[in-house]
Amino acid sequence: MSAIALGATLYVPVLRSNLLDVVSGSNPDLRSIVVCLEDSLRDDQVEEARAAFVEFLGRMETLGNRITVYVRPRDIQMLHWMLALPNISAIDGFVLPKVETSNVAQWLAPMTGHDHKFMPTIEGAEAFDRNALEQLCRQLMPFQERVTAIRIGGNDILNVLGVRRSKGRTAYDGPLGNVIRDMAATFIPAGFAVAAPVFEHYASLDLLQAEVEQDLEHGLLTKTAIHPSQIPVIHGCYQPSSDEVLEARSILDKDARAVFASAGSMCEPATHRRWAGNVIARLQQFAAKEDDDDNVSSIMVA
């Protein structure tokens, strides 16, 4: 699965009573979840969570259609334990927490004997260090085909500074802004996708929309969600407009001129082709914005 196909990825604690219903598609808008056994648990809940996860795996095998399921282990030892479980093939992949240059090899070692996809999460002080990010990029490069996306642990990163994100501004207007830009600039040119950090103030849907629009401007095509109400907002932002689709089609046309005008903008296929490909990928996954449906037809891009 590509990062864009994940859509808004909802984090769900493993002890949630309706977990299996969520996986079975009780929310028709939801495409992917992360079953969390890390920060969503207190220390005294770990054994209960392990038992719940084993039961969850067993019941997963009985499901027919289901959404994409990633699992977030508490630590490297728990990842080893999970990979040894007989039904672990029922899940699609893992979210690896608190990945750093000093421990990435330990996280990757148990993955070499399995074919699960995975998403490393960068959420410590190294998020502020461009050299460390570049080193992590090099360390992950041999596994690039299996890395669905690099995840940004926004709240943990802010915790390094002893702050919390504002309720009145997007992530790009605070300390996370530079982090997101550095991670996008480091990993996306190297061929990795980057997932946008969670927007924790779930009552502020207008501000969430503004943030997702900025995510798109930075090349982030999937986002963590913590509340079901966020999912349609995020997916709505991922729907391209008819103008975007028409420009993308023109840019990707094999007979396109080197430079041409469209709706008052300059289009240059040599520099806009990747953008155009992303627009078409968004169209294929999420369709066009509702008021633009009559102007847009489905498109396949090689």
Q: Are residues 160 and 195 in the same domain?
A: yes
Tell me how crowded residue 221 is: count the other CB atoms within 10 A of its CB: 24
Q: Are residues 232 and 255 in the same domain?
A: no
For residues 99 and 42, the model is more confident at: 99
The predicted pLDDT at position 40 comes to: 86
In this model, does residue 118 exceed pLDDT 90?
A: yes
What average pLDDT is seen over the chain?
Answer: 93
What's the pLDDT band for 194 if we cut at 50, 70, 90? very high
Q: Which residues pair with 223 in a beta bridge?
A: 8, 196
What's the pLDDT band for 298 if we cut at 50, 70, 90? very low
In this model, does residue 293 exceed pLDDT 50?
A: no
Domain encompassing residue 274 = 242-295
Mean pLDDT of all residues in 62-83: 94
Q: Are residues 234 and 247 in the same domain?
A: no
Mean pLDDT of all residues in 227-237: 98
What's the pLDDT band for 63 if we cut at 50, 70, 90? confident
Residue percentage of the chain with pLDDT more than 70 = 96
Mean pLDDT of all residues in 159-164: 97
In this model, does residue 301 exceed pLDDT 90?
A: no
Q: Are residues 161 and 268 in the same domain?
A: no
Residue 302 belongs to a domain: no
Q: Are residues 250 and 291 in the same domain?
A: yes
Q: Are residues 139 and 234 in the same domain?
A: yes
Tell me the pLDDT tens digit for each residue of 262-280: 888 898 999 999 999 999 9
The predicted pLDDT at position 296 comes to: 46
**CA–CA dist 270, 154 (Å, integer):** 34
Give the total number of structural domains in the chain.
2
Q: Are residues 224 and 249 in the same domain?
A: no
Contact (Cβ atoms closer than 8 angstroms) between residue 287 and residue 293: yes
Final residue in a domain of this structure, among 208, 238, 268: 238
In this model, does residue 106 exceed pLDDT 50?
A: yes
In this model, does residue 295 exceed pLDDT 50?
A: no
Mean pLDDT of all residues in 85-93: 95
Q: Are residues 258 and 287 in the same domain?
A: yes
The predicted pLDDT at position 115 comes to: 93
Contact (Cβ atoms closer than 8 angstroms) between residue 154 and residue 171: yes
Final residue in a domain of this structure, among 198, 220, 238: 238
Q: What is the crossing angle of helices 176-187 and 154-161, to 10°?
A: 130
The CA-CA-CA angle for residues 170, 149, 6, to 5°, reads: 80
Reported pTM: 0.92
Q: Are residues 162 and 133 in the same domain?
A: yes
Helices (H), the chain: 3-6, 19-23, 46-60, 76-83, 104-108, 130-140, 154-161, 176-187, 205-217, 230-238, 242-252, 269-286
Q: Are residues 88 and 208 in the same domain?
A: yes
Mean pLDDT of all residues in 40-67: 91
Final residue in a domain of this structure, among 220, 238, 256: 238
In this model, does residue 231 exceed pLDDT 50?
A: yes
In this model, does residue 197 exceed pLDDT 60?
A: yes
Task: List the CATH number of the domain containing 202.
Answer: 3.20.20.60
Q: Are residues 121 and 228 in the same domain?
A: yes
Contact (Cβ atoms closer than 8 angstroms) between residue 12 and residue 22: yes
Residue 182 belongs to a domain: yes
Residue 226 belongs to a domain: yes
In this model, does residue 229 exceed pLDDT 90?
A: yes
Q: Are residues 136 and 193 in the same domain?
A: yes
Residue 300 belongs to a domain: no
Residue 139 belongs to a domain: yes
In this model, does residue 97 exceed pLDDT 60?
A: yes
Residue 301 belongs to a domain: no
